Chains A and B, each alone.
Chain A
């Protein structure tokens, strides 16, 4: 069992853009590696070079734990290097309008909750954290809410969603699937006997 994750609290980084692909999160040249070490410093490297105002460049967003993004976040390549880079940069949870599927699954495997929020709530949240980067943001996976409290006393509360399977896995500490899969070995063996191409096509289905 790994640690149960029910809540993530911290400051947030606003990146309310759509269709951010994993090549942008971590450009391919940084995939020339045999460990994930050191990927954090290259998160969004090319975007950061081209846009000095990129939030990952800004002093006030360093130390951010929660990434606020747009629609179809993490599309494209299956590279787990993308969530690894974000995680190693410091991101512990993501709030976005929607996610690409492989990216979402990779995040769950790493214990990074990815919750969905409405566009309007994402815009309000972005406004709040842009105005006051020290705003404390809390994601509650059990209640499926996000709350934000700025230093100036402004507050925001919104509903978020996470698919039941991912929520169950994260909040019960079951997100490291390997142990569960290993335990299923007898059932796997039983299934193998029924799969035609594993039995020289001599079993009926």
Chain B
């Protein structure tokens, strides 16, 4: 008998322990990742109620958000950051949780570390007090962000109370044009479906474009599901997935790996799998994409001009005007040529080795434009090490980039890396919200790492294809 359930429902059914009075399911969580920002209050709840961690071996901790990327000498200069650092160290010690701390070379942005270590596996349920947990869906797992009260729920019970979402298949078929990256694919999807289009849904990304993507590219796509309102997004496991996992430290080994791989591949949605909704995009229509506003859906192709306010439905015009005003941009102006002050390559969206390689390829033999501050922040210590073995650090430094330590850095305003005043930043991260990069008036333009590299060396938004 063929199973007409999609992957999402197969995995959900396998982890549902019971239906609660509210109608929600009690869902077992296979992997719980924690970091320093959203966990301290959860441990406080445990202490208050005198509870233990139910499955300490199923939670793994690292530190990323507050980590300074220039000097990690302790105590940190920022005493609040130091207090958070000490708190996670103590909590992990007291409750018997594995911590990849700063002196452990496995430390890095939590969504880079999980896959890198082979902790993230297909068919798992994965939760973390961080909305970009959707990244791990790239492996064919159900992975989603939770709040701190729910972090406490997982610590104490390894389960969550959740309502099953609907599943939308987002298909992209055809050939991507040169210079179009995974980042452009997801920015395009968000632009078309809107920042709340995915509320109530899990997204299954399907079609030959995703089939051909590497695991790192798939992670970039799934990472930004939440930016489209979908709490989780996933891609069916295939041979690419299996090959990526093989040999990673926490992955199953030997015969166990063979059994695992067979099971993983069996989870993929079959040809007759059912979905609550299906949307289809053509790969050829996707351009190198740049956001111009204050939500990740406010974007245009690099060759386009900014929209006019009146081209939006009446209900949307207020927020569109707000975006123009905040960004100090004009309707109808071209995005290409817009001057930037800062270029940031990094984050859980685009801080992996393939991202750094691609950016370095563009940067090589060129120099950061006068007056532009440019930084490269590897997503993990291991990504950093790999890049240095390949000599990428030299390429970036010779071009005038700052080569930093691993962390979230300028993706958000919790560590010393911040925009100043109303600086414009070409950024490979995931959020262009007001004030997101640390200055309450700072302006963020989201784009692929190759496009950030192109902007860094020209000093303005540039079509990366023109530098090839």
A residues near B (Cβ < 8 Å) are 17-19, 21, 23-24, 27-29, 31-36, 46-47, 49-50, 71-72, 75-81, 83, 98-102, 105-106, 109-110, 119, 163-166, 168-169, 172, 174, 177-178, 180-182, 184-185, 187-188, 190-192, 194-198, 200-202, 205
Q: Report A-chain residues with C-beta under 8 Å of the C-beta of B146.
A: 78, 102, 105
Which A residue's beta carbon lies closest to that of B194? A72
Q: Report B-chain residues with C-beta under 8 Å of the C-beta of A80.
A: 38, 41, 129, 147-149
Q: A105 touching B435 by the CB < 8 A rule?
A: no
Q: Report A-chain residues with C-beta under 8 Å of the C-beta of B18.
A: 184, 187
A35-B44 contact given A17-B319, A77-B131, A197-B260, CB 8 Å threshold: yes
Q: A31 touching B414 by the CB < 8 A rule?
A: yes
Q: Report A-chain residues with C-beta under 8 Å of the C-beta of B147.
A: 78-80, 83, 102, 105-106, 109
Kindly state whether residue B130 has any CB partner on chain A within 8 Å: yes
Bound complex: CA A51 to CA B20 (Å): 44
With A75-B295, A197-B124 already in contact, 5 other A-B pairs whose C-beta atoms are closer than 8 Å = A34-B84, A119-B315, A181-B159, A181-B161, A202-B259
Bound complex: CA A49 to CA B23 (Å): 43
Q: B256 touching A200 by the CB < 8 A rule?
A: yes
Q: B435 touching A195 by the CB < 8 A rule?
A: no
Which A residue's beta carbon lies closest to that of B78? A32
Q: B129 touching A78 by the CB < 8 A rule?
A: yes
Least Cβ–Cβ distance between B220 and chain A, in angstroms: 18
Least Cβ–Cβ distance between B136 and chain A, in angstroms: 14
Taking a contact as CB atoms closer than 8 A, the residue among A18, A172, A182 that contacts B318 in the complex is A18
Q: Report A-chain residues with C-beta under 8 Å of the C-beta of B407.
A: none
A21-B433 contact given A119-B315, A197-B124, A201-B256, CB 8 Å threshold: yes
Q: B434 touching A106 by the CB < 8 A rule?
A: no
The total of interchain contacts (Cβ-Cβ below 8 angstroms) comes to 219
Least Cβ–Cβ distance between A165 and chain B, in angstroms: 4
Kindly state whether residue B396 has any CB partner on chain A within 8 Å: no
Q: Report B-chain residues with C-beta under 8 Å of the C-beta of A185.
A: 157
A198-B30 contact given A28-B414, A34-B83, CB 8 Å threshold: yes
Taking a contact as CB atoms closer than 8 A, the residue among B153, B163, B196, B414 that contacts A75 in the complex is B196
A23-B200 contact given A31-B37, A195-B28, CB 8 Å threshold: no
Which A residue's beta carbon lies closest to that of B129? A78
Bound complex: CA A177 to CA B121 (Å): 27
Least Cβ–Cβ distance between B41 and chain A, in angstroms: 6
A24-B150 contact given A197-B121, A200-B256, CB 8 Å threshold: no
Kindly state whether residue B265 has any CB partner on chain A within 8 Å: no
Interface centre among A105, A165, A168, A169 (most CB of B within 10 A): A105
Bound complex: CA A102 to CA B199 (Å): 10
Q: Report A-chain residues with C-beta under 8 Å of the C-beta of B130.
A: 77-78
Q: A180 touching B20 by the CB < 8 A rule?
A: yes
A75-B195 contact given A46-B435, A197-B124, A201-B252, CB 8 Å threshold: yes
Q: Report B-chain residues with C-beta under 8 Å of the C-beta of A163.
A: 163
Q: Report A-chain residues with C-beta under 8 Å of the C-beta of B14.
A: 194-195, 205
Q: Report A-chain residues with C-beta under 8 Å of the C-beta of B1.
A: none
Interface set, chain B 245-271, CB cutoff 8 A to A: 252, 256, 259-260, 263, 266
Q: Report A-chain residues with C-beta under 8 Å of the C-beta of B81.
A: 32
Taking a contact as CB atoms closer than 8 A, the residue among A77, A164, A184 that contacts B17 in the complex is A184
Least Cβ–Cβ distance between A81 and chain B, in angstroms: 8
Least Cβ–Cβ distance between A201 and chain B, in angstroms: 4
Q: Report A-chain residues with C-beta under 8 Å of the C-beta of B322.
A: 17
Interface set, chain B 75-108, CB cutoff 8 A to A: 78, 80-81, 83-84, 87
Interface set, chain B 165-187, CB cutoff 8 A to A: none
